[in-house]
Amino acid sequence: MSEGGTTRRFMAMKGGGYYSKATTGAKDVIDGATPLILDALDRMAPEDDGSVFTMSDMGCADGGTSIGMVARVLGEVRRRCPSRPIQIVYTDLPRNDFGQVFRNVYGLSDLEGYADAIPDLYVFASAASFHSPILPPGTLNLGFSSTATHYISAVPARIPNHVHMVRAEGRCKLSRERQGRKDWESILLNRARELAPGGRLCLFNFGIDEEGRYLGHSGGVSMFDTYDAHWAALRDEGTITEEEYLDTNFPQHFRTVAEFTAPLLDESGPVHAAGLRLEHVETRVVGCPYARDFAGHGDAAKFARDYIPTLRSWSEATFAKGLSPDRPADERAAIIDRFYDAYETRVRESPEGHGMDYVHCYLVIRKA
């Protein structure tokens, strides 16, 4: 199925500022890796030649989690290149709350906006998918994306036994890997076309690290298994149908380091031919901020109350999409509330081991 028929149709983080308020861990990931971007900028050594400097934030959601990083990086571009107009293009899918992006960057929310502090700055938004071209050829100087490239363009097959590909097996697993490979290559080729010579991509991607860890699965209670257990329980008690259970699949592929680097290291492949060169690769685990706070305050009810919104901010669209459109909207909303309430009860009653540690593969790539 084409992207138009799947992910683009329904995918969005929760809007109205909910996403970045509830997802402080994603901000920790970006803030912690900002030195990688500043180092890349240093190696790029942009000339102060009066030409437009373009940065993109691909899969930006409401732009709140990247706001501190963008302020620092574009502040540095302004310092180095006083004569260059700067444009930043925030990109996401059409259902994204782009209005919130502008409220955030212009300081009309709880966040500290930066747009008025950087002279000669132009802020734009695009709803073009990162699986397709976003910018005109040769115009991008610094492409950034965090916690987004795991969204595949289409779900190749339903996973019969689980809601996420991390537990897919056999042919189903192979079809996810194939889709993940195809999409990763096209993400890179589209960016290669957009990048100006010497430009950089800083891509901080959810993935599977060398020890088999991935989001919410780093030693404690596995988050995706918990999702699946609760969704399957709703099926078993007759609240949702078997079809709805089967229709609920995260449109994601978590790549391994080998999967991320293969097209960049293959000197006879199209990505290398398009000029992309790997400058830096590493994996990191960034701890769940809510589990960290719980270790300090020890209040299980507070932990459960604080933690579930972060899960909800990015996963709700997938569970809502799994439910039959024939159900009235309020019935669907009640099922979704019940699902997250059950998760919250579980964490409140038995908090040990819960948490959503972030596992990323950080890539810095140069356009030759």
Ligand X SMILES: C[S@@+](CC[C@H](N)C(=O)[O-])C[C@H]1O[C@@H](n2cnc3c(N)ncnc32)[C@H](O)[C@@H]1O
Which residues contact ligand X by CB under 6 A? Answer: 7, 11-13, 23, 26, 30, 58-61, 65, 91-93, 96, 129-131, 146-148, 151, 314
- Name the 3-class secondary structure at 308: helix
Of 258, 235, 236, whose CA–CA distance to 245 is shortest?
235
Q: How far is the CB of 57 from ligand X (least distance, A)?
A: 7
Interacting residues of 106 by C-beta distance below 8 A, sequence separation 6+: 113, 115, 116, 123
Question: What is the rounded CA–CA span in Å between residue 226 and residue 346?
Answer: 9
- Indicate the residue among 151 and 362 with the shorter CB distance to ligand X: 151
- Indicate the residue among 13 and 135 with the shorter CB distance to ligand X: 13
- Indicate the residue among 101 and 240 with the shorter CB distance to ligand X: 101
Q: How far is the CB of 63 from ligand X (least distance, A)?
A: 8
- Return the bridge partners of 195, or none: 140
Asked if 7 contacts 152 with a C-beta cutoff of 8 angstroms, the reply is: yes
Q: How far is the CB of 18 from ligand X (least distance, A)?
A: 12
- Indicate the residue among 26 and 135 with the shorter CB distance to ligand X: 26
CA distances from 340 to 16, 231, 292, 316, 347 (A): 19, 10, 21, 9, 11
Structure tokens that stand for 74 in this block: 């574009």
Question: What is the rounded CA–CA span in Å between residue 34 and residue 38?
Answer: 6
Q: How far is the CB of 51 from ligand X (least distance, A)?
A: 26
- Return the bridge partners of 146, or none: 204
Q: How far is the CB of 6 from ligand X (least distance, A)?
A: 10
- Indicate the residue among 248 and 313 with the shorter CB distance to ligand X: 313
Q: How far is the CB of 235 from ligand X (least distance, A)?
A: 26
- Indicate the residue among 204 and 245 with the shorter CB distance to ligand X: 204
- Indicate the residue among 66 and 218 with the shorter CB distance to ligand X: 66
In the bound state, the residue with its beta carbon closest to ligand X is: 59
Q: How far is the CB of 207 from ligand X (least distance, A)?
A: 13
